[in-house]
Amino acid sequence: MDNASFKPAPEWQVSQWFNSDCPLTLGDLRGRIIVLHAFQMLCPGCVQAGIPQAQRIARTFDPAQVAVIGLHTVFEHHDAMAPNTLAAFIHEYRLTFPIGVDRASSSGPIPQTMAAYALQGTPSLILIDHRGRLRKQTLGAEDDMRVGADIALLLGEMR
């Protein structure tokens, strides 16, 4: 594998943060593996599989090495998933990792970060290496063993 061919991950565009005192950027997290979990709070596959997996990732790995970041990428039912509703969802589901609201587009239903990554839907899991490069992007739920291995392979590159 020619590592030189990996592209820098696009910066996320976030209009509001939860579970973080200040806005976060890719640069702030440089040096760590970033697990970006894109979800919608009314997406059954996110609630049943994606979000619990993101919580398991946050519990399994050392946060000094692996940063789990949620991204609320609303592309349908926009009125139904406004930030005040998301706040109640985060509270009820006891989510503790930082979650950003993907910034709405002025020209269509797809929010800006979702468009920049060309995500096809939710849940999507994105892995960014410690040098800020996009390494993996998956639509739908992958099994825990594969995800754990993929994160650890990136950790191995940090040594």
Contact, 71 vs 36, CB < 8 A? Answer: yes
Query: Nearest 5°: phi and psi at 144?
Result: -60, -35
Nearest distance from C-beta of residue 11 to a copy of itself, angstroms? 28
Phi, psi of 52 (to 5 degrees): -60, -35
Residue 93 sits in the site that holds a copy of itself (CB under 8 A) = yes
**Least Å distance between CB 152 and a copy of itself?**
4
CA geometry: angle 82, 83, 88, nearest 5 deg? 105
Tokens matching residue 59: 């519990």
Structure tokens at 28: 């702030």
* In the complex, least distance from residue 157 CB atom to a copy of itself, rounded to whole angstroms: 7
Considering the rule CB under 8 A, would residue 118 count as an interface residue with a copy of itself?
A: no
One residue of 2, 108, 118, 159 binding a copy of itself per CB under 8 A: 159
Q: Which of 89, 100, 112, 123 binds a copy of itself (CB under 8 A)?
A: 89
State yes or no: residue 157 binds a copy of itself (CB under 8 A). yes
Residue 144 burial (CB count, 10 A): 13
The binding site for a copy of itself (CB under 8 A) comprises 42-44, 47-48, 56-57, 60-61, 77, 79-81, 84-85, 87-89, 91-93, 143-153, 155-157, 159
